[in-house]
Amino acid sequence: MASTIGTHEMDASIQCPACRASGVFHTWDIIDAGDASLKDRVLFDENLFFYTCPHCQSKIHIESKCLYIDRDKKLLIWHIPDPKETVTLGEVQGALGTTSLAAYTCRAALTWGEWREKIIECESAYDDRLYEIIKYGAYQLLSKEDKERLPLEAYHIDYADDGHDPERLALVFMKKDEKGMAYVYPITEKLKEVTRDIFMPIIDQLSREKQAPFERFGYAWASQFMTYLIKAAEADANRDTYGNLIGFWIKTIGEEIFQTVVKPQA
Protein backbone atom coordinates (compact mmCIF):
# COMPACT_ATOMS: atom_id res chain seq x y z
CA MET A 1 0.00 0.00 0.00
CA ALA A 2 1.31 3.44 -0.88
CA SER A 3 2.13 5.79 1.97
CA THR A 4 -0.25 8.64 2.67
CA ILE A 5 0.98 12.07 1.61
CA GLY A 6 -0.31 15.54 2.36
CA THR A 7 -0.01 18.87 0.60
CA HIS A 8 2.27 18.56 -2.42
CA GLU A 9 3.86 21.44 -4.34
CA MET A 10 4.92 21.45 -7.98
CA ASP A 11 6.44 23.68 -10.67
CA ALA A 12 4.71 24.10 -14.03
CA SER A 13 6.40 25.47 -17.14
CA ILE A 14 4.57 28.54 -18.47
CA GLN A 15 4.77 30.50 -21.70
CA CYS A 16 3.35 33.98 -21.23
CA PRO A 17 0.56 34.55 -23.77
CA ALA A 18 1.35 38.28 -23.81
CA CYS A 19 5.12 38.35 -24.43
CA ARG A 20 5.75 34.64 -25.18
CA ALA A 21 8.56 34.47 -22.61
CA SER A 22 9.03 31.21 -20.70
CA GLY A 23 8.64 31.01 -16.94
CA VAL A 24 7.83 28.71 -14.03
CA PHE A 25 4.62 28.75 -11.99
CA HIS A 26 4.95 27.39 -8.48
CA THR A 27 1.66 25.77 -7.39
CA TRP A 28 0.15 22.66 -5.81
CA ASP A 29 -1.26 19.42 -7.20
CA ILE A 30 -2.50 18.26 -3.76
CA ILE A 31 -3.82 20.52 -0.99
CA ASP A 32 -4.53 18.94 2.39
CA ALA A 33 -7.14 20.73 4.53
CA GLY A 34 -4.97 19.90 7.54
CA ASP A 35 -2.75 22.80 6.40
CA ALA A 36 -5.03 25.49 7.84
CA SER A 37 -3.18 28.48 6.42
CA LEU A 38 -3.18 27.05 2.90
CA LYS A 39 -6.85 26.09 3.19
CA ASP A 40 -7.61 29.71 4.08
CA ARG A 41 -5.71 30.83 1.00
CA VAL A 42 -7.73 28.45 -1.18
CA LEU A 43 -10.94 29.96 0.17
CA PHE A 44 -9.99 33.64 0.38
CA ASP A 45 -6.88 34.47 -1.67
CA GLU A 46 -8.07 35.51 -5.15
CA ASN A 47 -4.47 35.64 -6.41
CA LEU A 48 -3.51 32.13 -5.35
CA PHE A 49 -3.68 30.60 -8.82
CA PHE A 50 -2.40 33.58 -10.81
CA TYR A 51 1.03 33.74 -12.43
CA THR A 52 2.77 37.09 -12.84
CA CYS A 53 5.13 37.11 -15.80
CA PRO A 54 8.56 38.35 -14.59
CA HIS A 55 9.28 39.79 -18.06
CA CYS A 56 6.17 41.84 -18.89
CA GLN A 57 4.30 41.71 -15.55
CA SER A 58 1.16 40.28 -17.17
CA LYS A 59 -1.10 38.50 -14.71
CA ILE A 60 -2.32 35.12 -15.95
CA HIS A 61 -4.95 32.84 -14.43
CA ILE A 62 -3.58 29.29 -14.47
CA GLU A 63 -5.92 26.31 -14.50
CA SER A 64 -4.04 23.18 -13.41
CA LYS A 65 -5.07 19.88 -11.89
CA CYS A 66 -5.26 19.89 -8.08
CA LEU A 67 -6.79 17.58 -5.47
CA TYR A 68 -8.26 18.96 -2.24
CA ILE A 69 -8.30 16.46 0.64
CA ASP A 70 -10.15 16.83 3.92
CA ARG A 71 -9.42 13.64 5.84
CA ASP A 72 -11.59 14.62 8.84
CA LYS A 73 -14.71 15.26 6.75
CA LYS A 74 -13.78 12.58 4.20
CA LEU A 75 -13.76 14.86 1.15
CA LEU A 76 -11.90 14.49 -2.14
CA ILE A 77 -12.54 17.43 -4.46
CA TRP A 78 -10.56 17.47 -7.68
CA HIS A 79 -9.99 20.48 -9.87
CA ILE A 80 -9.70 18.99 -13.36
CA PRO A 81 -9.76 21.66 -16.09
CA ASP A 82 -10.02 19.09 -18.90
CA PRO A 83 -13.61 17.72 -18.95
CA LYS A 84 -12.42 14.60 -20.81
CA GLU A 85 -9.82 13.68 -18.20
CA THR A 86 -10.64 10.95 -15.71
CA VAL A 87 -9.18 10.19 -12.29
CA THR A 88 -7.19 6.97 -11.97
CA LEU A 89 -7.08 4.74 -8.90
CA GLY A 90 -3.31 5.16 -8.92
CA GLU A 91 -3.71 8.89 -8.27
CA VAL A 92 -6.09 8.21 -5.39
CA GLN A 93 -3.75 5.59 -3.98
CA GLY A 94 -0.85 7.99 -4.14
CA ALA A 95 -2.77 10.67 -2.26
CA LEU A 96 -4.61 8.55 0.31
CA GLY A 97 -2.65 5.35 0.63
CA THR A 98 -5.71 3.36 -0.43
CA THR A 99 -7.72 2.63 -3.57
CA SER A 100 -11.02 2.59 -1.66
CA LEU A 101 -13.27 5.63 -2.04
CA ALA A 102 -16.19 4.20 -0.06
CA ALA A 103 -15.72 6.50 2.93
CA TYR A 104 -15.21 9.66 0.88
CA THR A 105 -17.46 12.19 -0.84
CA CYS A 106 -15.79 12.60 -4.24
CA ARG A 107 -16.39 15.58 -6.49
CA ALA A 108 -14.77 17.26 -9.51
CA ALA A 109 -14.79 20.84 -10.82
CA LEU A 110 -13.70 22.43 -14.11
CA THR A 111 -12.49 25.82 -12.84
CA TRP A 112 -10.85 27.16 -9.72
CA GLY A 113 -14.03 29.12 -8.95
CA GLU A 114 -16.22 26.01 -9.18
CA TRP A 115 -13.65 24.09 -7.14
CA ARG A 116 -13.69 26.66 -4.33
CA GLU A 117 -17.49 26.74 -4.41
CA LYS A 118 -17.64 22.94 -4.20
CA ILE A 119 -15.25 22.93 -1.22
CA ILE A 120 -17.47 25.45 0.58
CA GLU A 121 -20.59 23.39 -0.17
CA CYS A 122 -19.07 20.07 0.86
CA GLU A 123 -17.62 21.42 4.10
CA SER A 124 -21.25 22.02 5.12
CA ALA A 125 -23.35 19.24 6.66
CA TYR A 126 -26.00 19.90 3.97
CA ASP A 127 -25.73 17.89 0.75
CA ASP A 128 -23.94 19.86 -1.98
CA ARG A 129 -26.31 18.53 -4.64
CA LEU A 130 -29.22 20.15 -2.83
CA TYR A 131 -27.34 23.45 -2.79
CA GLU A 132 -26.93 23.18 -6.55
CA ILE A 133 -30.66 22.52 -6.98
CA ILE A 134 -31.48 25.61 -4.88
CA LYS A 135 -28.98 27.61 -6.91
CA TYR A 136 -30.63 26.47 -10.15
CA GLY A 137 -34.16 27.15 -8.94
CA ALA A 138 -33.39 30.66 -7.73
CA TYR A 139 -31.77 31.68 -11.01
CA GLN A 140 -34.84 30.51 -12.94
CA LEU A 141 -36.92 33.07 -11.05
CA LEU A 142 -34.90 35.98 -12.40
CA SER A 143 -36.35 38.04 -15.22
CA LYS A 144 -34.61 38.15 -18.59
CA GLU A 145 -33.36 41.64 -17.80
CA ASP A 146 -31.96 40.52 -14.43
CA LYS A 147 -30.19 37.56 -16.04
CA GLU A 148 -28.46 39.97 -18.39
CA ARG A 149 -27.32 42.12 -15.43
CA LEU A 150 -26.41 39.13 -13.28
CA PRO A 151 -24.63 36.65 -15.56
CA LEU A 152 -24.79 32.95 -14.80
CA GLU A 153 -21.02 32.50 -15.08
CA ALA A 154 -20.49 34.84 -12.10
CA TYR A 155 -23.36 33.46 -10.01
CA HIS A 156 -22.22 31.24 -7.15
CA ILE A 157 -22.66 29.96 -3.60
CA ASP A 158 -20.48 31.50 -0.89
CA TYR A 159 -20.46 32.22 2.82
CA ALA A 160 -23.41 34.32 3.98
CA ASP A 161 -21.22 36.72 5.99
CA ASP A 162 -17.72 37.36 7.31
CA GLY A 163 -18.18 34.71 9.99
CA HIS A 164 -17.51 32.07 7.32
CA ASP A 165 -19.85 29.59 8.99
CA PRO A 166 -20.07 26.51 6.69
CA GLU A 167 -23.70 26.03 7.78
CA ARG A 168 -24.68 29.56 6.71
CA LEU A 169 -24.25 29.91 2.98
CA ALA A 170 -25.76 32.32 0.47
CA LEU A 171 -26.53 32.80 -3.21
CA VAL A 172 -24.29 35.50 -4.66
CA PHE A 173 -25.41 37.30 -7.83
CA MET A 174 -22.46 39.28 -9.21
CA LYS A 175 -23.26 42.41 -11.22
CA LYS A 176 -22.05 42.47 -14.80
CA ASP A 177 -19.20 44.92 -15.44
CA GLU A 178 -19.20 46.05 -11.79
CA LYS A 179 -16.28 44.27 -10.14
CA GLY A 180 -16.95 43.31 -6.55
CA MET A 181 -20.59 44.42 -6.63
CA ALA A 182 -23.15 41.74 -5.86
CA TYR A 183 -26.50 40.84 -4.36
CA VAL A 184 -26.18 38.33 -1.50
CA TYR A 185 -29.17 36.22 -0.43
CA PRO A 186 -28.69 33.88 2.57
CA ILE A 187 -30.12 30.37 2.09
CA THR A 188 -32.59 29.86 4.93
CA GLU A 189 -33.07 26.73 7.01
CA LYS A 190 -36.68 26.48 5.84
CA LEU A 191 -35.64 26.43 2.18
CA LYS A 192 -32.97 23.83 2.92
CA GLU A 193 -35.50 21.66 4.75
CA VAL A 194 -38.13 21.88 2.00
CA THR A 195 -35.54 21.16 -0.71
CA ARG A 196 -34.18 18.16 1.20
CA ASP A 197 -37.64 16.69 1.82
CA ILE A 198 -38.69 16.98 -1.82
CA PHE A 199 -35.51 16.06 -3.69
CA MET A 200 -33.27 13.96 -1.45
CA PRO A 201 -35.30 10.73 -1.84
CA ILE A 202 -35.00 11.07 -5.63
CA ILE A 203 -31.26 11.81 -5.45
CA ASP A 204 -30.76 8.77 -3.20
CA GLN A 205 -32.62 6.58 -5.67
CA LEU A 206 -30.55 7.82 -8.61
CA SER A 207 -27.33 7.48 -6.58
CA ARG A 208 -27.88 3.76 -6.33
CA GLU A 209 -27.27 3.56 -10.05
CA LYS A 210 -23.67 3.23 -11.26
CA GLN A 211 -21.78 6.54 -11.28
CA ALA A 212 -18.23 7.61 -11.98
CA PRO A 213 -16.08 8.11 -8.84
CA PHE A 214 -15.72 11.86 -9.36
CA GLU A 215 -18.94 13.45 -10.60
CA ARG A 216 -19.35 17.13 -11.48
CA PHE A 217 -22.38 18.26 -9.50
CA GLY A 218 -22.88 21.88 -10.52
CA TYR A 219 -25.46 24.12 -12.14
CA ALA A 220 -25.47 22.07 -15.37
CA TRP A 221 -26.13 18.88 -13.40
CA ALA A 222 -28.99 20.56 -11.49
CA SER A 223 -30.52 21.70 -14.79
CA GLN A 224 -30.36 18.15 -16.17
CA PHE A 225 -31.73 16.75 -12.92
CA MET A 226 -34.74 19.07 -12.94
CA THR A 227 -35.41 18.36 -16.63
CA TYR A 228 -35.33 14.63 -15.89
CA LEU A 229 -37.59 15.05 -12.88
CA ILE A 230 -40.19 17.12 -14.73
CA LYS A 231 -40.32 14.64 -17.62
CA ALA A 232 -40.62 11.72 -15.21
CA ALA A 233 -43.38 13.51 -13.32
CA GLU A 234 -45.31 14.19 -16.54
CA ALA A 235 -45.27 10.47 -17.33
CA ASP A 236 -46.25 9.39 -13.81
CA ALA A 237 -49.78 8.71 -12.62
CA ASN A 238 -49.07 10.98 -9.65
CA ARG A 239 -47.93 13.89 -11.82
CA ASP A 240 -50.31 16.30 -10.11
CA THR A 241 -48.67 15.52 -6.78
CA TYR A 242 -45.18 16.07 -8.22
CA GLY A 243 -46.33 19.28 -9.87
CA ASN A 244 -47.76 20.58 -6.61
CA LEU A 245 -44.56 19.73 -4.76
CA ILE A 246 -42.37 21.53 -7.30
CA GLY A 247 -44.77 24.47 -7.28
CA PHE A 248 -44.56 24.62 -3.49
CA TRP A 249 -40.74 24.48 -3.69
CA ILE A 250 -40.60 27.36 -6.20
CA LYS A 251 -42.97 29.36 -4.00
CA THR A 252 -40.67 28.70 -1.04
CA ILE A 253 -37.64 29.94 -2.99
CA GLY A 254 -39.48 33.14 -3.83
CA GLU A 255 -40.49 33.75 -0.23
CA GLU A 256 -37.26 32.65 1.48
CA ILE A 257 -34.70 34.10 -0.95
CA PHE A 258 -36.36 37.07 -2.65
CA GLN A 259 -39.10 37.81 -0.08
CA THR A 260 -41.69 37.82 -2.82
CA VAL A 261 -44.74 35.76 -3.65
CA VAL A 262 -44.39 33.54 -6.71
CA LYS A 263 -47.76 32.79 -8.24
CA PRO A 264 -48.17 29.35 -9.84
CA GLN A 265 -48.58 29.36 -13.60
CA ALA A 266 -51.97 28.42 -14.95
Q: What is the pLDDT of residue 229?
A: 87
Sign of torsion over alpha carbons 253, 254, 256, 258: positive
Return the amino acid letter for 115: W
Segment 83-87 mean pLDDT: 80
178 pLDDT tier (thresholds 50, 70, 90): confident
What interhelical angle do 112-123 and 36-44 show, nearest 10?
Answer: 120
Does residue 1 surpass a pLDDT of 60?
Answer: no
Q: Which helix (H) or strand (E) holds 102?
A: none
* 72 or 264, greater pLDDT: 72
- Reported confidence tier of residue 218, pLDDT bands at 50, 70, 90: very high
User: Once rounded to an integer, what is the mean pLDDT over residues 187-214?
Assistant: 87
Instruction: Decide: helix, strand or coil at residue 84.
Output: coil
What pLDDT, on a 0 to 100 scale, did the predictor assign at position 265? 47
Q: Are 165 and 183 in contact (CB under 8 A)?
A: no
**pLDDT value, residue 87:** 75
Average pLDDT over residues 218-224: 95
For the residues 118-128, what does the mean pLDDT come to?
A: 97
pLDDT tens-digit profile of 97-120?
766 777 889 999 999 999 999 999
138-164: average pLDDT: 95
Q: Which of 84-88, 144-148, 189-193, 243-247 has the weakest average pLDDT?
A: 84-88
Whether residue 3 is predicted with pLDDT greater than 50 in this model: the reply is no
Tell me what the mean pLDDT of segment 23-38 comes to: 93
Which letter, b or e, does each residue of 110-147 get, where b requires 16 or more Cβ atoms within 10 Å of its Cβ? Answer: bebbbbbbbbbbbbbebbbbbbbbbbbbbbeebeeeee
Residue 219 pLDDT > 90 = yes
